[in-house]
Chains A and B, each alone.
Chain A
């Protein structure tokens, strides 16, 4: 998480990973590139840091990992499980609540 503030970013990589993988299965490198694209480079993950996040979600049952041969190389593709979709819904709800709260606070602070 090079350019971002790690304590403030807690839970964000997990949310982004689940959101992107809920659309289609991907491997780590592909996923990091997608994070960059969908956040317009606003969120820059330290690329290797994605793997502990993926493995943690897999251990929690939110993701499955499958090895697939692609162009003579074996890639580990991750996909969201039904449990992962539930987790994504919960995290999205929490994020909306927090974000609405921060927006409201910033709006009020602007009017003070």
Chain B
């Protein structure tokens, strides 16, 4: 949270951020709202200091004028259009997770074959050659045996 103004009660902003995210507000909207609130806070603080308030008091006064965390969170969460799609349709991430899992399970063997192609080709060729040689030898042997045996 390095974007907080140095004098801002950072814990209040962090708590508001957590509350909004827990309430299902889209992360991009949370970031934007907080960024504008920080700017507003800085303006309020500067206004108070310009009127002769000491920095600590100016900061507290600025926070008070900005509004309580509870009210701010309630006002943001009152807008359903600010909610993240994952909060609005919780079944979508579940379906997507299952889809990704199944796709990756099915694609693992294919990926392995593609990535180890030359090894697999060598293995197939050598197995084929070994089968051919063994088969040929067996055939030769059988022929020799059959040739000697009176049928």
Contacts and interface: CB of A to CB of B under 8 A. Distances in A.
A56 B51 CA distance: 33
A48 B38 CA distance: 10
Contacts of A52: 33, 75-76, 78-79, 82
Contacts of A47: 40, 44, 65-67
A54 to B, nearest CB: 8
Interface string B31-49: 0110011011001100000
Contact of B36 (A2, A46, A51): A51
B72 A59 contact: no
Contacts, number: 59
Contacts of A75: 39
A53 B78 CA distance: 10
A76 B35 CA distance: 10
Nearest to A74: B39
Contacts of A29: 39-40, 43-44
Nearest to B71: A46
**Most chain B CB inside 10 Å of its own CB: which residue of A28, A49, A51, A53:** A51
Interface residues of A, number: 18
A111 interface: no
A25 to B, nearest CB: 15
A56 B39 contact: no
A24 interface: no
A55 interface: yes
A73 interface: yes
B29 A55 contact: yes
